[in-house]
Structure 1
Amino acid sequence: MRHADYVARQSQSNSATSALTASWRRSLFKHGLDPADARRPERLTLEELSQRRQAMDPFLRVAAPQLDQLFNLVGLSGCNVMLTDADGVVLDQRVNGADAEQFRDWGLWQGTLWSEAVQGTNGIGTCLAEGRQVTIHRDEHFHTRNTGMSCMDAPIWGPDGRLLAALDVSSARAEQTERYNRLISAQVAQTARAIEAVFFRASFPDARIVVADDTADAAVLLAVDQDDLAIGATRAARRALGLEREGAIRPRPAADLLGRSDDLTGFDKAERAAVVRALARSDGNVSAAARALGIGRATLYRRMSRLGLAEKSG
């Protein structure tokens, strides 16, 4: 049976419930794609690509050394290392000259668009569509023309908790096995976590970065300011600590989030930190903060003035 016919039949089967089949169904029914379509992937103009790269420049600069390290590990085995934006546009890559022609012919090249909406099931697009690590091996691809490649991908989440990029390693070698793919996939995931952590640290240059949990699966990091308020959190930290899913987080005492003692002999003895924590817990209500500190409202106002702390407006 032809690959295109098999994909269409499985996509329409009520008994097929795998994650792969779900992606095929999205490709066929939601996006209206044809698995037999042999057209090459769309490619942005040089100006369009330049604009996207400029918008992501701080991230790309941080990620570049990690891409180099990953390519040093997998490049000799005929692999192409690529980094995309959240739309699936390839912004940066590492590839050996001997393999470049094959990858360019497949469209695995800077400026090409690999979203699931336009390419169907593929490593980059499906990783971004589902927000999780995926491996799409050869005939698991939606389009027949992509069945010669194996793609291992992991998502990268931004400091704001939103999906920022996908890290991809694709292979042009027909002899590459699924077992070897698993080894590469583990390295891709590790590199994606490293890029995410490095970019998070770079996004809060004046903050102290605290490891909020010990896990090998994700970067669970908090950015803590001089007053010991948590002002930033990675996606994994947001999930683990029940913080806002996306966007800026409401500053909270790091001691509260980390389950540490909040008295003056515990997390911080400084008077300023104690006042700031009380204000944060009361969401800026000076009266409530004063009661929590066991002092009068007027006294707290005097201390706030002396410490250079302004009352929260609105």
Structure 2
Amino acid sequence: MNSRSFSRHARQVLTVANGQPIGAGSDPSIARSWLRCLEDYHLDPALAQAPAVLEHAHVQQGRQRLGQVLEIAGTEMHSLHQQLSGAGHAVLLTDAQGIILNCLTAPTEQRIFERAGLWLGADWSEAREGTNGIGTCLVERQPLTIHQDEHFRGRHTGLTCSSSPVFDPQGDLLAVLDVSSARTDVSRQSQFHTMALVNLSAKVIERCYFLRQFEHLWLLRFHVQAESVGLFSEGLLAIDGDGRIQAVNQGALNLIGAPRSGLLGQSVERFFACRLDDLLARAAPQGSAVWPLTTHQGRAMFASLR
């Protein structure tokens, strides 16, 4: 992007500070992010410097800290890259601070994405790089796409990024999964499919991480549809030997209709019309058998217990 384009983009960004909308159909989270960049972080949209990169030792520490997540995500990232036909896309995983810990690209395109600042150890937090898929996803805590000129910094307007948060079993941000493209012919509409795939992959990573974290506990899986038990949309409850709920995923919160604080530490009998002994008697090593289970409000579910 030349200096004239930088200036034009900077003027567009500054109009938001004066209350002007970005454009018809724009995601409201982008305007919120631009305002944060101007008012909270005091960033310059015309600044052309590349993202900061952590030293190798710090990157390795981050990778060790999220070792299990990276292991789980690796397979899903390769699958996602293949589903997107590979060419023109980088698949990234960052930690909860926006530091890139894994980057998957076609070997012939690695230099393209490195020039864009997408490499191991790069800090893509919103406070450092302004509005971008990774950093803004971390702040907004929701899946989103940042398309070209929607980026805060003029330097990043050649990128289109679709990102989804990955949450841990406590509901805290664990990582961000991102797909970035440096192609200029990428439309925002074309990202609907990409965003759906990224969001699904993030949910798969969340679910696998939950299962791995609580291998030592009883695991109740449930859904209103029998065929959905075992899929990413299922509810998951990790239960100790006394029947107390130790962890819960977002699917379970949605299905039961209670906040996380209202479930943790409570007996599973409080929510389901089934005695604990009868529930545990249905358990199987793989939890493959599915059977009816009703809530105290009379809502019919289907469940399995590992």
In the TM superposition, residue 252 of structure 1 has moved relative to its aligned partner by: 2.2
Taking a change above 3 Å as real, the CA distance of residues 260 and 36 of structure 1, as seen in their structure-2 partners, is same
**Residues 207 and 232, structure 2, Cα contact 8 Å, conserved in 1:** no
2:4 is matched with: none
2:17 is matched with: 11
In the TM superposition, residue 261 of structure 1 has moved relative to its aligned partner by: 3.2
2:290 is matched with: none
2:238 is matched with: 223
**Residues 168 and 174, structure 2, Cα contact 8 Å, conserved in 1:** yes
Per mean C-alpha deviation after superposition, the further-off stretch among 127-136 and 176-185 is: 176-185
User: Aligned partners of 1:150 and 1:161: how far apart in 2?
Assistant: 27
1:291 is matched with: none
**Residues 269 and 276, structure 2, Cα contact 8 Å, conserved in 1:** no
2:260 is matched with: 243
Taking a change above 3 Å as real, the CA distance of residues 86 and 219 of structure 1, as seen in their structure-2 partners, is farther
Is structure 2 residue 59 aligned with structure 1 residue 42?
Answer: no
Structure 2 portions without partners, runs of 5+: 1-6, 283-306
In the TM superposition, residue 188 of structure 1 has moved relative to its aligned partner by: 0.1
SS across alignment from 1:10: helix
Structure 1 portions without partners, runs of 5+: 271-314
Q: Which amino acid aligns with 1:169?
A: V
User: Aligned partners of 2:223 and 2:39: how far apart in 1?
Assistant: 41
Q: Deviations over 1:47-90 (max 9, x none)?
A: 11011111111221122111111111125231000000000000
Q: Which amino acid aligns with 2:121?
A: G
Q: Deviations over 1:18-70 (max 9, x none)?
A: 32111100011110001101010000010110111111112211221111111
SS across alignment from 1:189: helix
In the TM superposition, residue 209 of structure 1 has moved relative to its aligned partner by: 2.5
TM-score of the aligned structures, taking structure 2 as reference length:
0.79
In the TM superposition, residue 6 of structure 1 has moved relative to its aligned partner by: 0.5
Q: Deviations over 1:197-236 (max 9, x none)?
A: 0000000012232234458985632112344332211245
Q: Which residue among 55, 74, 82 is the counterpart of 2:92?
A: 82
**Residues 260 and 267, structure 1, Cα contact 8 Å, conserved in 2:** no
- Which is greater in Rg? 1
Taking a change above 3 Å as real, the CA distance of residues 120 and 211 of structure 1, as seen in their structure-2 partners, is same
Q: Which amino acid aligns with 2:211?
A: R
Is structure 2 residue 204 aligned with structure 1 residue 180?
Answer: no
**Residues 213 and 221, structure 1, Cα contact 8 Å, conserved in 2:** no
2:8 is matched with: 2
Aligned length, in residue pairs: 265
User: Aligned partners of 2:195 and 2:28: how far apart in 1?
Assistant: 20
Indicate the structure with greater helix content. Answer: 1
Q: Which amino acid aligns with 1:97?
A: P
RMSD: 2.4
In the TM superposition, residue 192 of structure 1 has moved relative to its aligned partner by: 0.1
Taking a change above 3 Å as real, the CA distance of residues 15 and 102 of structure 1, as seen in their structure-2 partners, is closer
User: Aligned partners of 1:189 and 1:79: how far apart in 2?
Assistant: 16
User: Aligned partners of 1:153 and 1:205: how far apart in 2?
Assistant: 29
**Residues 197 and 219, structure 1, Cα contact 8 Å, conserved in 2:** no
1:158 is matched with: 168
**Residues 103 and 109, structure 1, Cα contact 8 Å, conserved in 2:** yes
User: Aligned partners of 1:65 and 1:193: how far apart in 2?
Assistant: 14
1:200 is matched with: 210
**Residues 90 and 113, structure 1, Cα contact 8 Å, conserved in 2:** yes
User: Aligned partners of 2:93 and 2:107: how far apart in 1?
Assistant: 18
SS across alignment from 2:63: helix
In the TM superposition, residue 243 of structure 1 has moved relative to its aligned partner by: 2.4
Q: Deviations over 1:230-277 (max 9, x none)?
A: 2211245356432228xxx743222323x323486x54579xxxxxxx
Q: Deviations over 1:95-120 (max 9, x none)?
A: 00121111101111110000101111
In the TM superposition, residue 10 of structure 1 has moved relative to its aligned partner by: 1.7
SS across alignment from 1:91: strand
1:53 is matched with: 63
Q: Which residue among 151, 156, 163 is the counterpart of 1:141?
A: 151
Percent identical residues: 32
Is structure 2 residue 107 aligned with structure 1 residue 97?
Answer: yes
